């Protein structure tokens, strides 16, 4: 009986990780909604939103680890796909404001009324429907990644050159979205959201539901990544990472594999951005900043490139440290601390936190299991007893 690819992709560590995520996704909303504010078990609403942001960053880190850790594509522009997904969701949320805006225009958002836009641009049509917005969350980043990857991979652009081009892409989008005549709010971006699917986006119950949905999305993203990397496709991706020219010589269409995984990764980043926006309450061009994409790569390096779980863990750990250190006297020095963290991890823990743990754990586990397996084999008559005994 053949098991499904998702079932084959699961091991003890993966199952434990998903169960832990599911427990967090259930426990945090319940502790926020059902416990009194004075209780020591109560989770404040601001923490629900903050942790929800961390979960969205973890999805982004997974998307980067899929292409960098398993295919060797170092993208320094993945923040662009994250921001495009966020803008798609932000456009839907803006259309839900209607007459409750400052200018009470039922069709045009406030910034368009302020800038004297005569009518709603064509590319805003359809965003008053959630299904259309959800489709755009996947389609816009995916289409951009497909077009970009088609030209880049067909031209056999690799290594640092590809990284520079991806960074140039996100910088170009930053400049474009800063323009007021681009139709996305300019420097201020999109904000002042009211409802999502008819629910008040600021309500405690909505924030709790968004957190639970983000945890579910992280579980699904992790399952998809595990299914890819443990399949035959994943073995080809690893071969491309380790020896691209040899893989091409064996007859594999390397460009097609890289294009597929790059597009899939961009769609995952778009979903992360779409979940991020209603929890944060704003999306503006600063999300396109090249520094954000570089920082996301650091998350993966700290957690452990090519481990998936490590990428998600690195996103949470680094962003928690950022929240902690940027709220005190060390705030002006956070970027220096982040750079020092990346250097120290590269020098002392080149495999990241989870990668280093796995490198230590596997030999110890093998030494521990080997005598047990040998004893069991002797009892079953599989191996001959040692004459010296």
| pLDDT of 259 over the 70 cut | yes
pLDDT bin (cut points 50, 70, 90) of residue 4 is low
pLDDT bin (cut points 50, 70, 90) of residue 340 is confident
Q: Residue 231's CB: how many other CB atoms inside 10 A?
A: 14
> What mean pLDDT is reported for the chain?
89
Residues 252, 255, 258, 263, CA torsion sign = negative
Percent of the chain with pLDDT over 90: 72
pLDDT value of residue 387: 43
| pLDDT of 385 over the 50 cut | no
pLDDT value of residue 329: 78
Q: How far apart are CA 67 and CA 238, in angstroms?
A: 10
Please answer whether residues 41 and 31 qualify as being in contact, where contact means their C-beta atoms are separated by less than 8 angstroms. Answer: yes
pLDDT value of residue 217: 97
Question: Which of 36-45, 161-170, 361-370 has the least mean pLDDT?
Answer: 361-370
* 290-334 pLDDT, tens digit each: 989 999 999 999 999 999 999 999 999 999 988 888 877 777 888
pLDDT value of residue 253: 94
* 83-92 pLDDT, tens digit each: 999 999 999 9
Region 177-184: mean pLDDT is 91
- H or E element: which one contains 136? helix 130-154
* 355-383 pLDDT, tens digit each: 777 777 667 666 666 665 555 555 555 44
Q: What is the dihedral of CA 71, 77, 79, 83, to 10 degrees?
A: -120
Cβ neighbors of 251 (< 8 A, separation 6 or more) are none
pLDDT bin (cut points 50, 70, 90) of residue 284 is very high
The gap between the terminal CA atoms of the chain, to the nearest Å, is 43
DSSP string, 54-123: HHHHHHHHHHHHHHHHHH----S-HHHHHHHHHHHHHHHHHHTTGGGSSS--SSS-HHHHHTT-SS--GG
Closest CA to 65 of 255, 234, 301: 301
pLDDT value of residue 168: 94
Percent of the chain with pLDDT over 70: 90
Q: How far apart are CA 62 and CA 75, in angstroms?
A: 13
pLDDT value of residue 332: 81
């Amino acid at each position: 009986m053949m098991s499904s690819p998702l079932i084959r992709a699961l091991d003890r560590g993966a199952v434990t990780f998903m169960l832990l995520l599911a427990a967090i996704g259930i426990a945090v909303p319940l502790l926020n909604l059902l416990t009194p504010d004075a209780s020591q078990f109560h989770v404040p609403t601001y923490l629900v939103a903050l942790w929800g942001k961390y979960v969205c960053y973890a999805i982004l880190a997974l998307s980067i680890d899929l292409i960098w850790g398993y295919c060797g594509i170092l993208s320094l522009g993945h923040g662009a796909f994250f921001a495009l997904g966020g803008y798609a969701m932000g456009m839907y949320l803006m259309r839900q404001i209607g007459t409750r805006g400052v200018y009470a225009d039922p069709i045009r958002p406030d910034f368009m009324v302020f800038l004297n836009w005569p009518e709603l641009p064509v590319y805003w049509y359809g965003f008053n429907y959630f299904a259309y917005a959800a489709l755009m969350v996947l389609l816009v980043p995916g289409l951009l990644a497909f077009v970009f990857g088609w030209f880049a991979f067909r031209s056999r652009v690799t290594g640092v050159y590809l990284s520079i081009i991806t960074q140039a892409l996100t910088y170009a989008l930053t400049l474009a979205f800063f323009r007021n005549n681009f139709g996305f709010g300019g420097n201020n971006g999109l904000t002042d959201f009211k409802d999502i699917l008819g629910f008040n986006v600021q309500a405690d119950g909505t924030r709790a539901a968004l957190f639970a949905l983000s945890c579910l999305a992280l579980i699904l993203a992790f399952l998809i990544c595990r299914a890819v990397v443990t399949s035959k496709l994943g073995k080809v991706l690893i071969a491309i990472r380790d020896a691209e020219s040899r893989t091409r010589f064996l007859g594999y269409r390397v460009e097609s594999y890289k294009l597929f995984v790059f597009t899939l990764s961009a769609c995952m980043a778009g979903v992360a951005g779409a979940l991020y926006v209603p929890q944060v309450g704003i999306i503006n061009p600063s999300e396109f900043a090249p520094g954000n994409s570089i920082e996301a790569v650091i998350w993966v390096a700290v957690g452990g490139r090519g481990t998936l779980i490590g990428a998600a863990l690195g996103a949470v750990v680094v962003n928690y440290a950022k929240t902690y250190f940027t709220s005190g006297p060390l705030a002006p020095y956070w970027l220096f601390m982040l750079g020092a963290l990346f250097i120290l991890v590269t020098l002392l823990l080149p495999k990241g936190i989870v990668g280093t743990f796995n490198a230590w754990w596997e030999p110890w586990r093998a030494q521990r299991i080997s005598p047990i397996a040998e004893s069991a084999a002797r009892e079953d008559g599989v191996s001959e007893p040692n004459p010296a005994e």
